[in-house]
Amino acid sequence: MKQLPLVYHKKILVLGLAKSGTAAAEILHDLGAFVTVNDSKPFEQNKNAQYLLSKGMTVICGSHPENLLDEGFSLIVKNPGIPYTNPVIADAKKRGIPVWSEVELAFRISDAPMIGITGSNGKTTTTTLIFDMLEGGNKHPLIAGNIGTVASSVATKATEDNIIVTELSSFQLMGTEELKPKIAVLTNLYEAHLDYHTNFQEYTDAKFNVTKNQDENDWFIYNGEQKIVTDYALKTKAQKVPFYVSGKMEVGISADDLYVYWNGEKLFERSIIKLRGKHNLENVLAATAVSLLLDCSLENIMEVLTSFHGVKHRTQFVREWQNRKFYNDSKATNALATKSALEGFSEPVVLIAGGVDRGHSFDELIPHLHNVKAIIHYGATAERLQEFGVQQAIPSVIPVSNLIEAIAKAVQLSAEGDIILLSPACASWDQYESFEDRGDEFIEQVLALNE
């Protein structure tokens, strides 16, 4: 771990704890900073705050005092979930106090080069694919960031022989100054998180921070078929590697119906890729490009692609049972995500959908319903999905009470060769704590089906 002279014997405020804030506070303390932590959760219920107090840090819990910054802090490291409209952050801006997210700290202390992956969709799948390819290629990767492992904690353990594969959200990227991945990936840009960002421009600008500081010795891998992304790509100083899923191209990495190409030369047959869908093909191309740039063998890359069935809850293949294939896409909490899942299947599909009614339209699904033979639906959107399915002349549109009943009905209606797809197009909160809980229930029920 690199030392950080700019924090040594300086007053640093860590705003918001959870995993990332707690890790940042402990690292800054070890680097010789005088750390104050501030968290809204009361001290009596706050195990992280209690732990940090025992380490000798100043702890303020239960609220964010208006005069908090009067202590004369040199730097604030904030939890990414805290918006920039927070009064403490707004006050810091007025006072000219730098505000970092924890990944900026991770970059500054890391001895290992970093790969940064961001985008509206596909980050987790792309990150996982890159990690698996690099691991098989003996590149000693470490996985970090928004995927669930705190980046700064990983950075403390990394050496020059490692590569940190880091999934980065817009929340994290907004709080960066010098972050400079050796390879940056931008999968795509769609409207998202506008409850956090003031507008779409702020959101996309935050995403562009993944490549903003790169130079001609770095690489930027990006979606060459999305204009908003290619417009941002014009601003980077890094070497550009676009990816294309609509046909062979002479630059970057591309795919047609038969092959994947690297700078126009055949790499491998597309049929070896087990992941389904155009969106997953984008993820595969981005991950393959990263691995090729880092000198992974084509044999190793292909081995991963022939065995990788998806990240959990993201068009994840669960099992084949009585010649029916079951896929868990519980992460699909809106119609755009379900559309992407449906695009991946040419076989007849029995779709299980439903959940919290957020008022979103299902019209994006219409061009992709030609092979949907049944919609089994439940939850708060039941009436809207019933009406939608009937309007689109789906052969069977059936309401049930819950997911367990939906699986039983889907099995009853399906035939050999069919796909049974959980892709709800709705949030889970009417019947489940999270989309993970919903997906876990689906997996458990499907694996319990008797042969």
Whether the CB-CB separation of 249 and 243 falls below 8 Å is answered with: no
pLDDT tens for 181-233 read 999 999 999 876 666 787 899 999 999 999 999 999 999 999 999 999 999 99
User: Is 393 in the same domain as 369?
Assistant: yes
Name the DSSP class of 217: T
Q: In what order do the strands lie in the sheet with 239-244?
A: 141-145, 163-167, 114-118, 183-186, 219-223, 239-244, 253-255, 259-262, 265-269
Q: In what order do the strands lie in the sheet with 372-378?
A: 316-321, 324-328, 419-422, 349-354, 372-378, 396-399
Residue 149 marked ligand-binding: no
Mean pLDDT of the chain: 95
User: How many whole angstroms separate alpha carbon 301 and alpha carbon 130?
Assistant: 9
Span 308-316, average pLDDT: 90
What pLDDT does 66 receive?
86
Residue 248 marked ligand-binding: no
Name the DSSP class of 44: G
User: Is 224 in the same domain as 277?
Assistant: yes
Domains in the chain, number: 3
User: Is 126 in the same domain as 262?
Assistant: yes
pLDDT reading at 46 higher than 80? yes
Domain of residue 74, CATH code? 3.40.50.720
Higher pLDDT, 360 or 213: 213
pLDDT reading at 146 higher than 90? no
**Sequence-separated (6 or more) residues with CB below 8 Å from residue 176:** 100, 101, 103, 104, 107, 209
Tokens standing for 332?
A: 């699909």
Residue 120 marked ligand-binding: yes
User: Is 227 in the same domain as 80?
Assistant: no
User: How many whole angstroms separate alpha carbon 326 and alpha carbon 339?
Assistant: 17
Q: What is the largest CA-CA distance in the chain?
A: 70
User: Is 274 in the same domain as 348?
Assistant: no
User: How many whole angstroms separate alpha carbon 213 and alpha carbon 415?
Assistant: 54
Domain boundaries, position 46: 5-97
Residue 119 marked ligand-binding: yes
User: How many whole angstroms separate alpha carbon 182 and alpha carbon 186?
Assistant: 13
Span 116-135, average pLDDT: 95
User: Is 272 in the same domain as 324?
Assistant: no
Residue 125 marked ligand-binding: yes
Whether the CB-CB separation of 445 and 408 falls below 8 Å is answered with: no
What pLDDT does 375 receive?
98
User: Is 264 in the same domain as 200?
Assistant: yes
pLDDT tens for 265-305 read 999 999 999 998 888 999 999 999 999 999 999 999 999 99
What pLDDT does 451 receive?
63
User: Is 268 in the same domain as 130?
Assistant: yes
User: How many whole angstroms separate alpha carbon 339 and alpha carbon 123?
Assistant: 18
| Residue 56 backbone zone (phi > 0: left; psi -120 to 50: alpha; other: beta) | left
User: How many whole angstroms separate alpha carbon 306 and alpha carbon 217?
Assistant: 32
